[in-house]
A = this chain, B = another copy of it.
Amino acid sequence: MTQEKFIGELEQMLLLCVLQLKDDAYGSQIRSFLADKAQRDLSIGALYTTLERLEQKGLLSGRLGEATAERGGRAKKYYSVTGEGRQALFRSKAALEQLWQSLALQLAPQFDQGGCTR
């Protein structure tokens, strides 16, 4: 293939959530985190479908939680971002950032690209 594949906006966000939740990145935590930090409310189904797809693409890896949980309910599935996932994330960030930077430059050409003005 000649061009890298791009990941969707929600995929980017979920990758970021998992990255930040570290050892506590599973379904409902991820969902709350996203709602809290980005004001984006997902249904359960929407969440898991996307997590599953990210795993299939190799951008996330999932492992089942310990069997000896001190609570009721099914075992949690913990996710972590793979190296490939990190790459995809930073690539997406870079692409969007370059466009925003050009815009900032156009609006205020007296500032340099670093964007630090204080």
A113 within 8 A of B: no
A88-118 vs B: 1/0 string, CB under 8 Å? 0000110110111011001000000010101
Bound state CA distance, A93 and B12, in angstroms? 13
CB neighbours (8 Å) of A6 from chain B are 9-10, 40
A87 within 8 A of B: no
CB neighbours (8 Å) of A98 from chain B are 37-38
Bound state CA distance, A103 and B89, in angstroms? 12
Contacts A6-B9, A13-B99, A37-B99 given; does A20 touch B106 at CB 8 Å = yes
Give min CB distance, A59 to chain B, whole Å.
Answer: 15
Choice from B8, B16, B19, B40 contacting A9 with Cβ under 8 Å: B8
Question: How many interface residues does A have (CB within 8 Å)?
Answer: 30
CB neighbours (8 Å) of A37 from chain B are 98-99, 102
A17 within 8 A of B: yes
> Cβ of A96 and Cβ of B13 under 8 Å apart?
yes
> Cβ of B20 and Cβ of A95 under 8 Å apart?
no
CB neighbours (8 Å) of A41 from chain B are 3
> Cβ of A100 and Cβ of B16 under 8 Å apart?
yes
